Amino acid sequence: MNFIDESPCIFFSTTNIESQRYKSFHKYFKNNTFAFNLMSNDKLKSKYWNLFVYPLFFLPIFLILLLKIVIKTRFKFKTILIPFPGIFDILFLYPICKLFKKNIVYDSFVNFEQTLVVDRKIINNNTFIKIIRILDLIYLKFSNFVIVETKQIKQHFIDNYSVDENKFFELLSPREIDFKKLIKIELKENTAIYFGSYLPLHGAEFIIKAANLLKDTGINFLFIGDGQDRIKCENLANKFNLSNVEFVEFMEFYSENPRNSLLNYIYSSKISFGSFSTSEKNNQVIPGKIIDALACGKIVITSRTDAVSYYLDGNVVTVEPENEIELADKIKDVFDSDNFSYEENNSIEIYNNLFSFKKFKENLDKVISSI
């Protein structure tokens, strides 16, 4: 897109566009992006920054971006797309968009109530729970359309917030990974990898329990990352006295040093794990770690959920959630047999067909043209 001609849609954010998903939005909209990274990179964890710094500087940044829109576009656009968690953006843009008859589309990457209250259990005070629910109701009420990642998330909104299904569009999150640039690094023999932020929905402790069942088989488990449940997993590994489990600190996806690049560790392992909890959210999402592993050509073992069954049926290895016995059996099967060559050989094709930037662009084109 460019503004030589009228543009149907622009991208606006005062929060943060550094996540994998919003980098793709930024790339798609190019010069039609009006954004400032005023919020911290971890939008749900950095309480001080998000509660005090962001509100303090929001209004001047908002007005500067609004002025840029006026100068550059002369309001000759049809739709403005706002990403999570742009609640202030929606509230301040709503009267303007109403006046000039512009559509607001909100990308609901995270449902506040489901994530903070139900899944991560960060908030348990009834008053704060009500406030969190109001945040979800704000973007549902004041946006014309809402983008969600999966069909299952869409159904969650319909069932729990009484919203018309025609208000929603589905748009899977993309990843940009160049398979040809990945480098094999030396790992322990028969290594399976978990990487990420140890969120409760990942159920990483069940991988530890499976590792305990496999501690005499020569299968090794590498955990890379940090987060809410890491200490729980380390304590469990110590309790079982596991020598086949190694914990490594968080590392960047890409690095000039091959041994500091997370993607090379994924690429060099035999198995990459998805998520294993029975949480409501896990049932509705395709975790980014699954997409990353598919893009690296890996066999993925993850829990059997509605979202995984709908989008990835037959292309990943699935087990019952929170079932370390079945998980251990599947891990051993993958290492001991050639029965999973289809999943391994087909993973990059699945990534290209569902999660590549090219596919994301095609789907976003359809969303914008249909508004």
Among 81-95, 250-264, 304-318, which stretch is predicted with the lowest mean pLDDT?
A: 250-264
Domain range summary for the chain, segments of one domain joined by +: 7-174+356-370, 179-354
What pLDDT does residue 1 have? 43
Spatial neighbors of 199 by CB under 8 A, at least 6 apart, are 119, 120, 227, 228, 229
Which comes out higher in pLDDT, residue 340 or 146? 146
106 bridge partner residues: 82, 146
With the C-alpha atoms ordered 289, 290, 295, 300, is the resulting torsion angle positive or negative?
positive
Helix, strand, or coil here: 342?
A: helix
Residue 162, judged by CB atoms within 10 A of its CB (0-12, 13-18, 19+), counts as exposed
Separation between Cα atoms, residue 296 and residue 60, nearest integer Å = 43
> Span 7-18, mean pLDDT?
86
| Residue 221: strand pairing partners | 192, 245
pTM, two decimal places: 0.89
List helix spans (H) across the chain: 20-29, 47-48, 54-73, 87-100, 112, 126-142, 151-161, 205-213, 230-239, 262-268, 288-295, 306-312, 324-336, 341-354, 357-370
**Gap between the Cα atoms of 148 and 153, Å rounded:** 6
According to CATH, what is the number of the domain 179-354? 3.40.50.2000
Confidence band of 116 (pLDDT split at 50, 70, 90): confident
User: Which CATH number, 3.40.50.2000, 1.10.357.10, 3.40.50.620, 3.30.2350.10, labels domain 7-174+356-370?
Assistant: 3.40.50.2000
